[in-house]
Structure 1
């Protein structure tokens, strides 16, 4: 396979994982936790890098794509470890902009917000959670980026 084929596989792999995460969220009703979001950002970066690298391939872009996939894989390992209680996860939670909200509106937003803890496994397949699958598949994507680099 050519370099562009490997870049396309890695790029579309990140896109497929993002679409899967969004499908679980919006179609399946599985609300993401803070660590779920952390795993999504590097996939978005990898998709953008991949789109640019397909148009204008170079070693730096390919390395950045591999790094993005490795970062999301690392977040997946960290999140899976939190889910399996191997280590403690973040003690903070995220919130949006609350400036200009009345006390009643803020209270209603808090009470109606879906709560998903980082240490809860909300879905699993073959004993692996979504975070575990993200880690494995993201490291496969790292391999695809590295195969593209080999073809450079």
Structure 2
């Protein structure tokens, strides 16, 4: 079965893919308790940019949509680069930032709350993968997701319509 997608539909699909990826990261953080490090938080920025870019490309006239759609592969290539760097830091190939520690995400209300928070907060290092699946950390999965979204957006931007499936 072949599914024909327009540029607008493809742009919307990329925006939804970016939103789902960010949603997954937020679930890992707020539901499962994985505190992100500095590099983890940096890797989210291209996604925060890609969501409105994709939505804009979906809503603009076709000529402008194609231009905005071409910005998406560039955004995701940057994202893949950040993920590759972070993966390299985790595997010991690169030195990570010296100030790499995560935020707890919660503000202390009083001095007593702050002291309790200090006792229970663990500083997150960029050099340790908090979670792995099939040998890849979240940073490694970011590389794959980013490259997939970049390729999809580039394919959509290069044609008036394209097909997904057989």
Residue of structure 2 in register with 1:24 after alignment: 28
Question: Number of aligned pairs?
Answer: 148
Q: Which runs of 4+ in 1 moved over 4 A?
A: 102-112
RMSD, aligned CA: 2.3
CA distance in 2, matches of 1:14, 1:114: 29
Give the Cα–Cα distance (whole angstroms) in 2 for the partners of residues 124 and 109 of structure 1.
27
Q: Which runs of 5+ in 1 are unaligned?
A: 96-101
> Structure 1 length as normaliser, TM-score?
0.86
TM-score by length of 2: 0.79
Structure 2 segments unaligned to the other structure (5+ residues) = 104-109, 161-166
Structure having the higher Rg: 2
Question: Which residue number in structure 1 is paired with residue 88 of structure 2?
Answer: 81
- Asked if residue 120 in structure 1 is aligned to residue 124 in structure 2, the reply is no
Structure 1 contact 10–141 (Cα < 8 Å) conserved: yes
Q: Which has the higher strand share?
A: 2
Instruction: Establish whether residue 39 from structure 1 lines up as the match of residue 47 from structure 2.
Output: no
CA apart distance, 1:105: 8.0
